[in-house]
Amino acid sequence: MIDYIKGEITELTPAYVVLETRGIGYFVHITLPTFSFLGEQPSAKLFVYESIREDAHVLYGFRLQSERQLFLLLISVSGIGANTARMIMSSYSAQEIQEMIATGNVSALNAIKGIGTKTAQRIIVDLKDKIVKGVGGSDLLNLIPNEQTEQKEEAVSALVMLGFAAAASQKTVDRILKEQPTLKVEQLIKLALKMM
């Protein structure tokens, strides 16, 4: 499975981006918040979900791993396909979607094009516990995208790849960032390794 694609932006629309890396152009479906983020940037790194169907291999790209995680939660709900999940994530920020689910706000979800009352209720029933408790030890309610979130995710991901437990890595990185919020990813990983 493809984890992320990093490359030059050769085409950008509100619905998709073409990322060129090593002479190959990847057509990646995106949400409106991702489109806004990419803006005038010459290159980008997007975390990818790859949907493999009989008739196509479709890529969906996200700015943060946590946004991809929310997307995966949404498509795990019966009746929610990838395009519907993308519509939901284009209508509201990841933070707003999680708050709607956590607070059981059916009417706000119902206001999204293509989401009926029953589907909105199913989303809340299926995902409320996962959103409130967090998945894999991470608190999904803290998804406000910012530079520190990206640093944290990269550092935790690196530590997990080095063989450390995700929950322990997260706690260590959180502790370091509370004391030194401006650290670069490399410094953050080095400090975390000393503390693990």
The mean per-residue pLDDT over the stretch 110-118 comes to 86
- Structural domains present in the chain: 4-62 (2.40.50.140), 68-141 (1.10.150.20), 146-195 (1.10.8.10)
Amino acid 84 reads: T
Average model confidence (pLDDT) across the chain:
84
- 102-111, 142-151, 160-169: which has the minimum mean pLDDT? 142-151
pLDDT band at 143 (very low <50, low <70, confident <90, very high): very low
> In this structure, are residues 185 and 155 in contact, taking their beta carbons and an 8 Å threshold?
yes
Task: Answer yes or no: is pLDDT of 92 > 90.
Answer: no
Q: What are phi and psi of 38, to 5 degrees?
A: -70, -35
> In this structure, are residues 106 and 124 in contact, taking their beta carbons and an 8 Å threshold?
yes
C-alpha–C-alpha distance, residues 70 and 58, integer Å: 18
Task: Answer yes or no: is pLDDT of 162 > 50.
Answer: yes
